[in-house]
Amino acid sequence: MKQAALKPNERELIKLIRFFSKRAAKLMEEGELSAEHSQLTAACQNLETQLITHANNRSAIMDKRERLLNLIEDNAQCPKCSKADMLKRTGSTTNEYGWKCNTYKCRRCNTGFTWNRPNNPWDMVEFLEMYIGQLQLAMAAEQNQQVIHQTEDAVIQMKDSLNRLRPVLQTSDEEVDALQQKEKEMDKLIHQFKTYLQIEKIKLNAYPEEEAEEEEDNQ
């Protein structure tokens, strides 16, 4: 099973939990720790499970998000030579519509350019909506029936793609929003529990000293 991708504060708390659980279990076996601390040990184990589950859920959501971001494949061509075989992607930029688009350099022509389509499905939805509107306006002025039918078919296909894509993107957005809220809750819980365990760790370390003092007093 793939190891959970933990954040630094999660990793630090789990390390503290495991130290405390191991130390507490040893002291209980030796009769040096009251049984009430077994509840704390159980709470530690439950929290560790919760942290790992949350980390796995976070990884799954962000992996899905990353796959969506990489869903769009450019069929870019150099605007000068109309070729694609010598293109090298150089980065991305935001165009006048606020869409993120990839930038390229044609090594044949030594020409740099920004591709005229978005590089992600969220912006592609807006692009297709605008493009469909342009096609519908063009159809209204078109006289050739064959061109009209071809354009109508293209519009139907694009609308179908949009209808299938929108729910997927909405679900991803909702998952990320819920994850961000959960992250805030978990960060708060981690901070509180870490502080508590640090105090309990100090108490654990004090047990041997207290017993040694009691033995000296009894002598």
14 and 46 part of one domain: yes
pLDDT of 218 over the 60 cut: no
Token pair 């949350």: residue: 54
User: In this structure, is residue 149 part of a structural domain?
Assistant: no
At residue 30, the pLDDT reads 75
Q: Is residue 18 part of a domain?
A: yes
Q: What does the alpha-carbon distance between residue 70 and residue 185 come to, in Å, rounded to a whole number?
A: 30
Overall domain count for the chain: 2
Q: What is the model's pLDDT at position 206? A: 62
Q: Which residue's entry shows tokens 């998000």?
A: 65
**Is the domain of 88 the same as that of 40?**
no
Around 25, how many Cα atoms within 13 Å sit in the side-chain half-sphere?
Answer: 10
Q: How many CB atoms lie within 10 A of CB 6?
A: 19
pTM recorded for the entire structure? 0.78
Helix (H), strand (E) at residue 12:
helix 8-29
The pLDDT tens digits for 123-164 are 999 999 999 999 999 998 988 999 999 999 999 999 999 999
Of the pLDDT bands very low, low, confident and very high (cuts 50, 70, 90), residue 215 is: very low
Please give the average per-residue pLDDT across 16-36, as a whole number. 74
Whether residue 38 sits in one domain with residue 90: no
Lowest mean pLDDT segment, chosen from 35-39, 92-96, 132-136, 169-173: 35-39
8-state DSSP, 129: H
Measured CA distances, 96 to 69, 82, 83, 112 (Å): 20, 23, 25, 18
Out of 84, 119, 154, pick the residue that ends a domain: 119
The chain-wide mean pLDDT, for the chain, equals: 87
Q: Residue 60: give the domain boundaries.
A: 8-70+176-213
Same-domain status, 84 and 65:
no
CATH of the domain at 94: 2.20.25
Residue 146 lies in a domain: no
Task: Let me know if residue 137 belongs to a domain.
Answer: no
Per the domain annotation, does 171 fall within a domain?
A: no
